[in-house]
């Protein structure tokens, strides 16, 4: 089994030294670099680059540069998604973002986790767990979403929150770690 296959199955895999994965990441890094250097008003050029990064282009996706991801092809954006500047999608596993989601500046979606023991960490091992975000969510600035988290639809995530657990639909969450503050009557 290849390291890419292990990664896609949520198994421990060699993230740092496997030539195939390193090559795929650097291809994506180069495309992100090109996207980030494109004039903000050059919508057609930006859309072409984003389509190369993601492998598709969802309706009314707007991503403000700078933007960074590891593979791109593991991100599934819904329609009418807005991603503010300086966001990072660590997409070793699939990251699914629903429709009408607004993501504030400097947010991170992190699918990777590492072994606690340094010998295995030094060997480059990593495990990638998927992240799922429902429809109609709003993320304040500097939110971090950790590996394996599912956030329901209609949620508001307060600025600076670190989301480590699943969040039910229509929740307002905040804090480190993020916890449900109240339920929204939609």
Place of tokens 């307060």: 158
Are 14 and 121 spatial neighbours (Cβ–Cβ below 8 Å)?
Answer: no
Distances 128 to 125, 144, 155, 158 between C-alpha atoms, Å: 10, 16, 24, 25
Task: Report the pLDDT averaged over residues 107-111.
Answer: 98
Backbone angles phi, psi at 19, to 5 degrees: -60, -40
Helix (H, G, I), strand (E, B) or coil at 27: helix
CA 180 to chain centre: 21
Give the closest residue to 67 by CA, choosing from 98, 35, 99.
35
Task: Report the pLDDT averaged over residues 92-111.
Answer: 98
Name which CATH class applies to 3-153: mainly beta
Q: Is the pLDDT of residue 186 over 90?
A: no
| 7 Cβ contact partners less than 8 Å away, ≥ 6 residues apart | 13, 15, 21, 92, 93, 126, 128
Domain ranges of the chain: 3-153
CA 32 to chain centre: 14
Total Cβ atoms within 10 A of residue 92? 26
Give the closest residue to 71 by CA, choosing from 143, 120, 125, 128.
128
Pure H helices in the chain: 3-8, 19-37, 43-54, 118-122
pLDDT confidence of 102, banded at 50, 70, 90? very high
Amino acid 73: pLDDT: 97
Q: Is the pLDDT of residue 8 over 90?
A: yes
- Please tell me the distance from the alpha carbon of residue 157 to that of residue 120, in angstroms, as a whole number: 33
Amino acid 117: pLDDT: 94
pLDDT single digits (tens) 122-169: 998 999 999 999 999 999 999 999 999 999 999 999 999 999 999 999
The CA-based angle 118-121-124, given to 5 degrees, is: 150
pLDDT single digits (tens) 22-74: 999 999 999 999 999 999 999 999 999 999 999 999 999 999 999 999 999 99
Amino acid 176: pLDDT: 97
Q: Which residues have a catalytic role annotated?
A: 114
């Amino acid at each position: 089994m290849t390291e890419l296959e292990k990664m896609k199955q949520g198994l421990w895999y060699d993230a740092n030294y496997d030539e195939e994965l390193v090559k795929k990441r650097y291809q994506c890094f180069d495309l992100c670099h090109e996207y980030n250097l494109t004039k903000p008003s050059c919508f057609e050029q930006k859309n072409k680059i984003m389509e190369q990064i993601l492998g598709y282009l969802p309706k009314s996706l707007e991503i403000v540069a700078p933007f960074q991801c590891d593979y791109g092809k593991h991100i599934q954006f819904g329609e009418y998604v807005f991603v503010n500047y300086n966001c990072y999608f660590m997409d070793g596993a699939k990251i699914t973002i629903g429709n009408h989601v607004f993501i504030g500046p400097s947010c991170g979606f992190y699918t990777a986790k590492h072994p606690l023991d340094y010998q295995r960490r030094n060997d480059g091992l990593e495990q990638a767990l998927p992240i799922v975000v429902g429809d109609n969510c709003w993320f304040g600035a500097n939110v971090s979403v950790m590996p394996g988290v599912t956030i329901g639809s209609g949620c508001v995530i307060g600025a600076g929150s670190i989301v480590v657990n699943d969040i039910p639909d229509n929740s307002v969450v905040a804090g480190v770690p993020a916890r449900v503050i109240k339920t929204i009557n939609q």
